[in-house]
Structure 1
Amino acid sequence: MASDCLSLLAADAVVTLVYHNESVLASPSNIAVVLAVPLTALIALAMAHAWDPGVFGSGAEEFRRVGYAYVMVIAALALIGYAVGTAAGQSWVFGALPLAAVLTLFGRYALRKWLHIGRRSGAFLRSVLVAGDIDSVQELIRRTRRASYAGWEIEAVCLADADHAACFPLAIDDVPVVGTDHDIVGLVALHGYEAVAILPSTGWSPIRTQRLAWGLEGTGADLLIAPALMDIVGPRLHIRPVAGMPLLQLSAPNFTRPAWLVKTALDRVLALGVLIVFAPVMVVIGCAIRLTSPGPALFKQTRVGRGGTQFEMFKFRSMVRDAEDRLADLADANEGAGVLFKIREDPRVTRVGHVIRRYSLDELPQLLNVVAGHMSLVGPRPPLVSEVEKYDDGGVRRRLFVKPGLTGLWQVSGRSDLSWDESVRMDLRYVENWSIALDFMILWKTAGAVLRPDGAY
């Protein structure tokens, strides 16, 4: 809140002093606007729940709420000015507020990085007790360890099946199993856990959840209940009471809405701009490939796009010319999981290929596919035809509901180090929860991911 207030005051002061100087004090209406602009912006931030502790450090959702608040306050003040027939506040509405929005986002980003650094070093963590089936508990432990920035430290586990308590493991991934789900309230009172997470499990009924909520009253522990749809989050989930019974409403994914047209337009405009900026770099890379390895600089490969349509995807050639012919000879060295073929030290990769793969420069020609409309800047990994033929009916084909992307959640979350299941989960999570804010967050993180060699091979 202090950071947001300082951002508003700084932007207000810049417009007031730089553009108006002494003229502000000479007009009562200007003085009123100077005072009203930061106040109404703070009210808009509060109404957008931008200060909800649950979204601090969460990324896209936090920035989406801030952006929504500023868009709403700018629109509201502009309409009010038009209705009363005055232009007195235009400099502040269209100058101070956009500047304040930028400062607010940068301030929150800086605080978010500071928070994540602290959490990675063991500070600002919430002690959590998890209850559920072994598989779901193990999955949550893996996720929270991989995403340490989330701020969860799972300290203990209560397993759901009380009838087989004698067969319980002593620990799950080094987290001790301290009891069954009947022991949760007593354990929270004894150890002071800050949160209790209930995961989908057999035998867990709504009445038991209600009694657990009653039992945790007064302990200070938050109760978090995971929905059955584990990877659907954010604006798609709503609580809708029907006849006094709260139901979880799942709205349709954004790729079925007109917002997808906005994404398509942004993709093509931004891709064309980036293509123009990087044209000299691409010429240099193309010349380096031709001079160091026989064969063309560009490599074309048939990939599968939205709805199963096929297209020719462009990349800079990073392998020897007969790489496809030598694929069968390397089948035993495959390190990829599922339908993926990956080799960490692939002998087919050229010297220039190692460099451009390290920094994902081999992907730059895919900007042509984005401009042509075959791909998006952000989306699932573009699959090969042979990979799609191996897809089962476990939901993997939902990746084809949207255009494949030049980058995506898979790119910023481990690249080639991801297992097949993790890669699929990342792509499906993107498909289910797409938003423009999520796209910009992934594009921002991509810049950092390509500078790190982790997972690039």
Structure 2
Amino acid sequence: MYDPRSKELDRTLFSLDVVCTVAAFLVAFWARNLLLPEAGQLNLYSHIFLLPLLLTLLILFLSYFGAYQNPRYATFMGYAWAIFRGMALTIGVLLSLLFFLEIDYVSRMVIIGFAGLGFVALVMVRAAMLAQFRQSLQDGSGALRVLIIGTGERARELARNLHEQAEWGIKIVGHLDPESQRIGSDINGVPVIGNIDQISQCLKSNVVDEVIIAIPRSLLEDAEHIAHACEEEGIKLRFMADIFNVQVARVSLAQVGNLPLLTMEPVAQDESKLFAKRVFDLTVTLLAMPLVLPLMAVVALAVKLDSPGPAIFVQQRVGLRKHLFPMFKFRSMYMDAEEKMKEIEHLNEAQGPIFKISNDPRVTRVGRFIRRTSLDELPQLFNVLRGEMSLVGPRPMSIRDVDLFDRGIQRKRFSVKPGVTCLWQISGRSDLPFEKWLALDLEYIDNWSLWMDIKILLKTVPAVLFSKGAV
């Protein structure tokens, strides 16, 4: 998102969504009392408590499905489909919570009525926004006027990208060049209107919204003069940040005191989508707990009866950004398994840094069953609740395995939270070589979406039931 007006539009759209959501809920409540008086009058205070949860879920899902996509790249039908999915998922989660928590005093008719009214209101807001945006593009009233410092290939590439990506339209006022002899020439039809020393006069003589520096590092000493000129005229100054020849996913600027810090991230993940992932993890895990806890009690008892020692095995694993955390599992091996590791290291059947053998003598009778059915992984749901793991993500690895990594790219898997299940889990598990395992982890990191998480979770069930590739 280049144009700051897009952020302003996002804030406006968010505010309108909140207002429309609250209004639709109140209208649905009023309509229920008006149309069905014989069923009894509902108490507003018994329903109003739903609004914070309703707003949180709806805004979260609207954001995830693209209801806040920039109007330059969106269509009316695209917005309508995003709102429909966001609303449907919100209502689905809300009704599920009411059912599991046995809350009977909340009218389902109010919720269904809200869904219809809210959908229509949110769609109408975006229809009006699209019409206003397209009118602005047509008459050019919203075009951003930019002065580019530089005439080289970087400046030409910048001009091309601005025309392609400036959401509200772009008007390049001109170029300034360090060399005076280039004044009067043109760059892709845009004139060179002066040299860098003339920037103050150029800013006074032209309507300029922004100045962008696109000159090589060797000429950056001229930037101070440019910055002072922009400061005097009250004009925003930007500079191209590709001053290092590295590939990054996102560049951002932060400030510590008076010092600006340029941040280059090799893996860029949208904070709102990460928040949606966290809410999804917590919701699914908490809803699953009434079913999972009795099963965990049975497994724990079986482990205790089968061999001496605690039912839960805790091991330090390498998590997000290589921070260590205690991972919980049901114990599937005898108590002296760690000590016997060196004795059987030569029997390793897996390639790469991982250790796997099909008939590990350290595994107990119950351990073989719970490993084959992945029941030993159930306590990791507590790691999910603690925020150390996600339901879906690269499997957490032991310190031993990580110490054996021989390539830097293998550590990219630590840029996201480890997961209870992953692409590896549904693609063959222990049958896969380590290189394929790593490739699947990197594929997940580069292409992650909430919908991908849902598909992996759904595919995990048959993979576990049929024990495909389990050791």
TM-score (norm 1): 0.47
Structure label with greater radius of gyration:
2
Alignment TM-score, normalising by the size of structure 2: 0.45
